[in-house]
């Protein structure tokens, strides 16, 4: 099987790691932020998501639906208020079925935990992607070392530089690289990993 590098340990990256690991691949997930299960990276953000039918299908296919269901809240209707103070209950389903609300942060933590349970998944936090070389199937990462809990020595840009590299290219092919992928140190705090 292949050794695969995933840049980004958010919702998509962590779920993709589960899928690929269950297919037998060795997966390294690099996330520029700290581990959200140990730091407060979601502080001040209260973004809830609704898990749709498509979402449940993906979670079931990855075998993590039961773990995610434990942290969801069923919601059957919303309440509207008119100018006179009257309320109207508007169900989300004509069959009175619930939709399931979940905290983005809790969902991300749960998916990371499920990925980490797999022996062929390794999570790397505080690893910022500096460069992606598609021709040679390599990524360059810089490891930020926390100065104190909840803080980092470097400021971060809103978009990863690796993503910007992908956008600069008109067409690219995504491949896993050589089967004997390995990483090595370029200088303190920076290393290169095969995709």
Q: Which position has the token pair 């995709």? A: 195
DSSP result, 105-130 = HHHHHHHHHHHHTSTTEEEEESEEEE
Kindly give the pairing relationship between strand 87-91 and strand 26-31. Answer: unpaired
pTM of the model: 0.73
pLDDT band at residue 173 under the 50/70/90 scheme? very low
Complete domains list, the chain, with CATH: 3-194 (3.50.50.60)
- How far apart, in whole angstroms, are the C-alpha atoms of residue 169 and residue 96? 48
Return the SS3 of 103.
strand
Dump pLDDT digits (tens) for 97-137. Answer: 899 999 999 999 999 999 999 999 999 999 999 998 888 88
């Amino acid at each position: 099987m292949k050794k695969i590098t995933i840049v980004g340990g958010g919702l998509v990256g962590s779920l993709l790691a589960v899928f690929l690991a269950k297919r037998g691949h060795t997966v390294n997930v690099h996330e520029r932020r700290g581990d959200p299960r140990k730091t407060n990276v979601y502080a001040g953000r209260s973004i809830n998501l609704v898990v749709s039918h498509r979402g449940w299908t993906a979670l079931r296919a990855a075998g993590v639906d039961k773990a995610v269901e434990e942290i969801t809240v069923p919601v059957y209707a919303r309440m509207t208020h008119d100018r006179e103070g009257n309320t109207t209950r508007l169900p989300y389903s004509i069959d009175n079925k619930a939709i399931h609300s979940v905290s983005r942060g809790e969902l991300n933590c749960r998916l990371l935990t499920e990925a980490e349970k797999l022996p062929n998944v390794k999570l790397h936090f505080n690893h910022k992607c500096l460069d992606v070389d598609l021709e040679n199937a390599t990524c360059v990462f810089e490891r930020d070392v926390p100065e104190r809990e909840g803080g980092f020595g470097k400021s971060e840009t809103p978009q990863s530089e690796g993503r910007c590299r992908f956008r600069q290219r008109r067409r690219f092919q995504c491949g896993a690289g050589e089967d004997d992928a390995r990483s090595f140190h370029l200088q303190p705090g920076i290393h290169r990993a095969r995709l």
